[in-house]
Structure 1
């Protein structure tokens, strides 16, 4: 019944951020409006929207032990290629962290919004194929 429709990202410069997100995440613009623009990602059904704001807004929250966590992440099939692409485009990234069935790294947009990129091994219960199997059982 429910699925993720859109993810909204606050940006201070809509034009520059539009170009940045299109170049770095391979987004395709669906439409724009006075203070925003909507995009589709290369795969999946969720949409991403950039919304112009007057000042930078938090896109993460604090978790235990003073760690930070972004509100959502991007799944990729090849985390090394994604990491290399962002680095070659001059995007600030963290190193790839490896946790058995999952690897991840963070990157930052023009407003210094943090985002996580995740790769799930086929053995991970969070791998998209395993999620799909669970959904089909319902």
Structure 2
């Protein structure tokens, strides 16, 4: 019944952010409006909206012990390719970490918004193929 339609990101310079997200995430613009713009990814159905704000807004939350977590992440098939892409384009990143068969790192947009990049191991219940199997099972 429900699925994620769009994710919205607060940015302080819409024109600069449009260029940055197009270059680094490969999104394509659908349309723009006063103070915002919508994009689609080459694959998947979730859309990305950039909303211009007067001052930076958090895109993460505290989870304790001084750690933060992004509200959402980007899934990739090759974590090292994604990491190299950001590194070669001078996009600030954290180191690649591993946890429970998952590899991940964070990257930061021009406003300092942190986003996680995740590469799930096929044995993980969260891997997209395993989730797809659960979805198919629920439909029967």
TM > 0.5 fold call: yes
2:99 counterpart residue number: 99
1:17-49 per-residue CA deviation (whole Å, 9 max, x = no partner) reads: 000000000001111111101011121110010
Equivalent-residue separation in structure 1 for 2:55 and 2:65 (angstroms): 27
Q: How many matched pairs?
A: 138
Equivalent-residue separation in structure 2 for 1:38 and 1:100 (angstroms): 34
* Alpha-carbon offset, residue 100 of structure 1: 4.0
Tell me if 1:61 matches 2:61: yes
1:31-85 per-residue CA deviation (whole Å, 9 max, x = no partner) reads: 1111101011121110010000000000000002121001000000011000000
Query: For the aligned residues, what is the CA RMSD?
Result: 0.7
Equivalence map 1:1-138=2 (5 Å): 1-138=1-138
Query: TM (normalized to structure 1)?
Result: 0.98
Please, which moves more after superposition, 46-55 or 99-108?
99-108
Equivalent-residue separation in structure 1 for 2:44 and 2:115 (angstroms): 17
Equivalent-residue separation in structure 1 for 2:96 and 2:43 (angstroms): 22
Equivalent-residue separation in structure 1 for 2:50 and 2:95 (angstroms): 26
Which secondary structure state, in structure 2, belongs to the residue aligned with residue 91 of structure 1?
Answer: coil
Equivalent-residue separation in structure 1 for 2:54 and 2:6 (angstroms): 21
Q: Which runs of 5+ in 2 are unaligned?
A: none
